[in-house]
Structure 1
Amino acid sequence: MHRRSLTATLSLAFGGTTLAVFALVGSFVYVALDHQIKAQDDLDIVLAARHARRLAEELDTLRGVREHGDRLMSTVLGNEAMSMEVVDQQGNVLISHNLANAPADSTASDASAALGEPLPHVVPVPSAARITDASIADWRDRAGAPIRGIVAEAKLHNGDVANLLIARNMTDRWELLDRYRDQLHTAGAAGVALALLLGYLLIRAALRPVRDIATSAGSVTVDRLHTRISVERVPRELETLVASLNAMLERMDYGFQRQSRFTADLAHDMRTPLGNLRGATEVALARPRSREEYEALLASNLEECDRLSRMIESVLFLARAEHPQFVKHMRSFDAAQELTRVAEYFEGVADEANVTVGVTGHATLTADLELFRRAVSNLLANAIRYTPPRGRITLDAHADEQDVQIVVANDGEPIAPEHIERIFDRFYRVDPSRSSLRPSGAASEATGSTGLGLAIVRTIMELHNGSVRAMSDASGTRFILTFPRG
C-alpha cells in the first residue's frame, strides 16, 4: 500500500491553508473595493442631483430650464460616465445629456419613457425631501450596460415641478472589478504554487533532523549497542523523542550486556561441575577400583548432578519470572507462622552448621506463598552458609501503615560496601572461593550455592512490586524484604 510522505502531506496542507487564506482575503478586499467604489459613485450622483435641483429651484418656469440647460448640465460635465435628463410632469424632455445612459425605451420624442415603465422601481425624491443615496436605483441601458442613478423632483418659483434624472454608467467600474478579480485569481494561483514549492522545501529541511535520527538509529547493531543519537542539532520538539530513543538503547545495551554476562557466567559455572564429573570419572576409570571407591564416585557425581539440576531449575525460574504473563497466586497469611515453618525445615542444616535460628515479630502479609517461602529459604540458606559456628540467625516480621518487612539477620563478617549492591546480580559471589564449598548430606540441597539465590530473591520481590536490600556492619548482616500492604 502506497503511503504519502509526511513532507508531501504537510506541503499540501500548507498549500490548502494558503489557498483558503488567499480566497478569504481576496474576497474581502474585492467586496470592500466594490463597496468603496459604489459609495464614491453614489456620493457623486447624490451631490450632482442636489446641485442640479438647487439650480433648477432658482429658475422661474420650465422655459427657464431649457434656457439655462447648460448651467444645469454643468453638474455632470467632466465625467463621461455621468448623464442627465430633465422632464416635466407630462414627460416632455426639457434638457438631456448622454442619452445613451437613459433607460432602454427612452427617446427624444417620447421622453415620458425615461421615467415611466422601464423604471417602475425608481421612486422620485419629493422636492421637499432630502436627496440621499437610499433613493439610488440600478437598471440597464439599451446595450445592456449597468446604470446606477436617481430621480429627484425640483419645484420652480411658479409652482411647476421638473423631474431630474442623474445617472452614471457603471461599465467602467465593472470592468475595473473584473480586472481586479482576474488579477486576484492569477496572484492567488501563483501564491498557492509558490507556497507549495516553498512549503515542500522548508518542510523537507525542517524534517532533516528526523532523517538524521533515523540514520543514526539504523546504524545501531548488536555490536554497536553503545551508539547514542546526538542531541546537539536536534530541535527542542524532538529532544524528548531522542532522549526516549537513547534511553531505550541504553536499556537494550544494559540488557544485552547483562544477558551476555549471564550466559558467560552460566557457562563458566556449569563447566565446573561438568569438569568435576569428567575428572572424577576419568580417574576412576584409569585403573580398577574397589566397590567402596565406585560408590564414593557415584555419590560425588550425584552431588554434581544435583548442583547442575538446581542451577538449571533456577535459570528456568528466572526466565519464566521475566515473562509478562507469569502467574502469581496471591493470598493472605501469617508471615511469622510461615517463617517458623521455614526455620523448622532448615533445622537439621542449622544444627549441622552449629548455628541457631529464631523467629520474632508478627505480621499479616498478602503475597504468593510459594514465592515467599522460596525467597526466605534462599536468604536463610545464604545466612547459614556464612554464619560462623555458634552464631545466631533471626527471622523477623513486622508491619507499619505502608508495608510489611521481613528481616533475615545473621552474625558474621560484614560484607564490603563495594559488594553490597552487586550481591543480587546473577552468579555474583563476594568470595568466589566459597562457590566450591558444598555441605554434605541434607545441607547439600538446602544450602548448595549456584550463584543465583539472591538474584531469585530480587526477582520475587519485583514480582510483588516490593524491594530487597542488604545492610552489613560489624554487628552482622541483614537482608530486608519490603512487601507493599495488600
Structure 2
Amino acid sequence: MSRLSLRGRMALLFVIVVTAVLTLAAISFDYFCRLHFERQDAQVLEGKVSALEMILARGNSLDPDMISDIHRLIDTSFGFAATIMVGDRVVSSHHNLSEELALSLSPRQDDQWLIQVGPNRYSGITERIKGWGGEEGRTIHLALNVTHRTHFFEMIRQWFIYTLVVSAILSGALGFVLIRGGLKPISRLSRTSSTITANCLDTRISTESVPTELHELVDNFNAMLERLDQSFLRLSGFSADIAHELRTPLNSMLTQTEVALMKDRENADYKEILFSTLEELRRMARMVDDMLFLAKADNGMITPDFEDHDLAAIASSVLDYYEYAADEKGIRLAMHRNGATQVSGDNLMLRRAVSNVMSNAVRYGEAGTTIDINISQAGQWVQLNVSNQGPTIPPEHIDKLFDRFYRIDTARREGSTLNAGLGMAITRSIVEAHKGSIGCHSAEGVTTFTVKLPTVRE
C-alpha cells in the first residue's frame, strides 16, 4: 500500500469503508428480520397450542369430534402441522405433518425448536401435558413450515453479495473521480511550486483558492519561501559585499604598484610602497580570517575551551586597550560592577566579543560623552551592558546589526577597509557558542548592547 498514490489510497479506503458499512447493515438487517419472524412464529405457535389444549381438555380420550376440531383449527392456517403423542405412540397426526417429521422429534425435544426434514424446514413448539393418556403423559408437537422464508433469506443473501461487489466497484470508481477532483488544489500547489526558482522566490500562493484544510500547509509553504528569499538575499548581498570589501584594497595595491613601475625610484620610495601594500594585505588577511571564523560558526565547528573567568576582569583589560582611542575622541569610559561576574568560556573568544562591542561604542560615540559599561549578575546570567551616546538606530535596522557586512550608513563603505562590518556578526557567533545571547536597544540618542552569558554554577 506504501507504493499506491494518494488518490489510490484514499479510493481504497473509501471502498473498504463502504463495504464495511454495507456488510454491517446487511448483517443487522438479516439478524433483526430473523429475530422478528422467530418471535412472531413463537406467538402464533403458542396461540395454537393453547387452542389445542382447550380442545383436549374436553375429554380423556380423542373422539371424532375432538379430532375434527383439531383438524379444523390447523387447516385455518397455512403451513401448520400438528401431532399428538402418548409416550412414543402417535395418537393423532395432521395430514400435513409427515411421519418423517414426527419420528425426527424426540420425546425430550426442547420447547421451541427448528428442524430440517428433507427439503423442508420447520419451526415448532413442544408442549407436555401430564395426567392425560395414562402415566406416560401426552405431548403436543406443533410445527410451522418456514421453508419459503428460508429460501427468501437465501435469495436476499445472494442478492446482497452481488450488490456488495457492484457497490465496491462503483464506490471505488466514483471515489477515485471525486478524490481526484478534491485533490486538484494540491495539484495546483505542485504546479505553482514547480515554477519557483532562485530568481522568483517572491512568489506567494493565495489561500483564497484552496480549501480550509490546506490553509496551514499554504501558510507554512509561503513562510518557507519567505525564509528562502531572505536567505538568498543575504547570500547575494554577502557575495557582493565580499567582492566590494576585497576590491578596495586590491585596487589600492594595484594603483600603487602601477605608479611604482612607471619610472625608476629610490629604494626609500619602493620601501614605502611595500609598507603600504603590506598594510592592505594585513587588512585583507584579517577579513579572510573573520570570514573563516563565521563559516566555522555556521557549521558548528567553534568549540570554546571552557574555563572559569571573571567577565569584569576581561572587560577591564579591554577598556585599558581602548582608553587611548577614546581619549582621542574626547570620550570617557566608566565601568560599574555589581555582584559575582564569573562565567565559563574561552578567554580569547570572550575578550574578542567584548572588544568588538567596545570598538563599536567608541567608533559611533559622540565626542564629550561617556561610555558606560555595566556588569552584573541577573539570576542565572551575567549581563554586560555597553551604552554610548550617539545617533539613534532606527528600529528597522536593529535586527540586522548582527548580519555580515551590514552597515546602517552605506556611504561609510566607500574607500574604507577599517570596518568591514563583520565584528558584530562575529560577536553574536561567539556569544551563541557560549550558550548566551546578545541584543541591542536604541532610543533618544542612547544605544545599548546587552550580552548575557550563563553564570558559573557552584
CA-to-partner distance for each residue in 1:103-159, whole Å, 9 max, x for gaps? 35xxxxxxxxx4xx6422445xxxxxxxxxx61334344x35223334446799999
Q: How many residues align?
A: 451
Q: Distance in 1 between matches of 2:366 and 2:356?
A: 18
Larger Rg: 1
Q: Distance in 2 between matches of 1:330 and 1:220?
A: 45
Q: Do the aligned partners of residues 436 and 216 (structure 1) sit closer, same or farther apart at CA in structure 2, a change above 3 Å counting?
A: closer
Q: Distance in 1 between matches of 2:368 and 2:131?
A: 141
Q: Secondary structure at the residue paired with 1:211?
A: helix
* Aligned match for 1:319, one of 269, 281, 295: 295
**Uncovered stretches (5+) of structure 2, i.e. residues with no partner:** none
Aligned to 2:422: 452
Aligned to 1:146: 121
Q: Do the aligned partners of residues 229 and 462 (structure 1) sit closer, same or farther apart at CA in structure 2, a change above 3 Å counting?
A: farther
Alpha-carbon offset, residue 417 of structure 1? 3.1
Q: Secondary structure at the residue paired with 2:254?
A: helix
CA-to-partner distance for each residue in 1:441-479, whole Å, 9 max, x for gaps? xxxxxx9322222232233334434022143645x6543
* Aligned match for 1:97, one of 95, 98, 115: 95
Bigger shift: 449-458 or 332-341?
449-458
Q: Distance in 2 between matches of 1:2 and 1:60?
A: 80
Q: Secondary structure at the residue paired with 1:407?
A: strand
Q: Distance in 2 between matches of 1:234 and 1:433?
A: 46
Aligned to 2:261: 285
TM-score normalised per structure 1? 0.81
**Contact kept in structure 2, 1:58 and 1:156, CA below 8 Å:** no
Q: Distance in 1 between matches of 2:80 and 2:313?
A: 114
Q: Do the aligned partners of residues 401 and 54 (structure 1) sit closer, same or farther apart at CA in structure 2, a change above 3 Å counting?
A: same
Alpha-carbon offset, residue 406 of structure 1? 1.6
Q: Distance in 2 between matches of 1:368 and 1:241?
A: 43
**Contact kept in structure 1, 2:15 and 2:172, CA below 8 Å:** yes
The within-5 A match list for 1:9-88 is 9-59=9-59, 61-62=61-62, 64=63, 66-86=64-84
Q: Do the aligned partners of residues 146 and 295 (structure 1) sit closer, same or farther apart at CA in structure 2, a change above 3 Å counting?
A: same
Alpha-carbon offset, residue 264 of structure 1? 0.8
1:378 is aligned to 2:378: no
Q: Do the aligned partners of residues 328 and 230 (structure 1) sit closer, same or farther apart at CA in structure 2, a change above 3 Å counting?
A: farther
Aligned to 1:467: 438
**Contact kept in structure 1, 2:55 and 2:66, CA below 8 Å:** no
The within-5 A match list for 1:242-281 is 242-281=218-257
Q: Distance in 2 between matches of 1:164 and 1:424?
A: 104
* Aligned match for 2:190, one of 210, 214, 229: 214
Q: Do the aligned partners of residues 386 and 288 (structure 1) sit closer, same or farther apart at CA in structure 2, a change above 3 Å counting?
A: farther
Alpha-carbon offset, residue 346 of structure 1? 4.0
Aligned to 1:5: 5
Q: Secondary structure at the residue paired with 1:194?
A: helix
Q: Which amino acid aligns with 2:453?
A: F
Aligned to 1:129: none
For the aligned residue pairs, the C-alpha RMSD in angstroms reads 3.3
CA-to-partner distance for each residue in 1:305-348, whole Å, 9 max, x for gaps? 11111111111222221124542333332111111222334456
Q: Distance in 1 between matches of 2:190 and 2:257?
A: 57
1:193 is aligned to 2:190: no
**Contact kept in structure 2, 1:56 and 1:156, CA below 8 Å:** no
**Contact kept in structure 1, 2:248 and 2:415, CA below 8 Å:** no
TM-score normalised per structure 2? 0.86
Alpha-carbon offset, residue 260 of structure 1? 0.6
Alpha-carbon offset, residue 285 of structure 1? 1.2
Q: Distance in 1 between matches of 2:82 and 2:53?
A: 12
**Contact kept in structure 2, 1:343 and 1:358, CA below 8 Å:** no
Alpha-carbon offset, residue 9 of structure 1? 1.6
Aligned to 1:130: none
Q: Do the aligned partners of residues 340 and 155 (structure 1) sit closer, same or farther apart at CA in structure 2, a change above 3 Å counting?
A: closer
Q: Distance in 2 between matches of 1:95 and 1:118?
A: 14
**Contact kept in structure 2, 1:375 and 1:460, CA below 8 Å:** yes
Aligned to 1:295: 271
Q: Do the aligned partners of residues 39 and 294 (structure 1) sit closer, same or farther apart at CA in structure 2, a change above 3 Å counting?
A: same
**Contact kept in structure 2, 1:469 and 1:479, CA below 8 Å:** yes
Aligned to 1:417: 394
